[in-house]
Amino acid sequence: MAILITGVTGALGSELKKLFPDSISPTHQELDICNISILKDFFHNNKIDIIIHTAALTTVRGCEENKNQSMEINVQGTQNLIEEFKNSNPSGRFIYISTACVFDGNSGMYDETSIPYPENFYGLTKLLGEYCVKKYDNSLIIRTNFVGRKKWSYPKAFIDRFGTYLFADQTALGIKEVLEDGILGIVHVVGDRKLSMFELAKINTIDIQPMTLEDYSGPPLTIDMSLETKAWKKYSIYD
């Protein structure tokens, strides 16, 4: 069974590649999902059974400052990939990796039936990507919230932003287990406890400094990105 993983150079894509070592996992330079001609050639030359689509422009500020690019990659690129995959293999399975940021972040503990209401342009593009995926019957949308298992990328982390976070390798394992179960629709792959971003950062960066949203200036941020699940099990970030 041939599996295509997009976004393999990202934190999650690289971990999925470890779990699916025989997968086809091109870089952006090797497979531009915004280029229809390249996609047509790719699916003509490769018989794909499953796509795990992780490729996206994911930074809140980057999407806000480059709206056209984020729409092209996160929405049109997803639509292109689905259309060419459907033409190539109508019975293939499409797994779309989405985010807790499709919700407004005002209350937290959103489950699979909660109504999305994005707070920023990044969340909007990911939600529009979900709408593209839902039109394809044999599809699965996985919402999650993860970081790479490495030193925190910034000197400070928020004490007043929260999520049911996992590390990328744990999220990849969850995706693999959900895929093997054969579920379709929407599934939240989540941690079993709510943490602040500061608590999350401190796991791998002992000297991380605290900050609050009052210290921040920039595009709107989701405050509570915690997810609940009614469709799947939870994972412990401390495992």
Domains annotated on the chain, with CATH: 3-235 (3.40.50.720)
Which residue in 48, 8, 51 sits closest to 28, CA to CA?
Answer: 8
pTM of the model: 0.97
Which has the closest alpha carbon to 56: 151, 144, 182? 144
Q: Give mean pLDDT, residues 66-93.
A: 97
Residue 207: predicted pLDDT:
97
Q: Phi/psi class of residue 51: alpha, beta or left (left: φ > 0; alpha: ψ in -120 to 50)?
A: beta
By residue count, the chain amounts to 239
**Amino acid, single-letter form, for residue 161:** R
- Tell me how far apart the alpha carbons of residues 76 and 4 are, in angstroms, rounded to a whole number: 18
Are 186 and 141 in contact by the 8 Å Cβ rule? The answer is yes
Cβ-Cβ contacts under 8 Å for 8 (sequence gap 6 or more): 14, 16, 17, 25, 26, 27, 54
- pLDDT (0 to 100) of residue 146: 97
pLDDT score of 148: 97
Give pLDDT tens digits for 14-24: 999 999 999 99
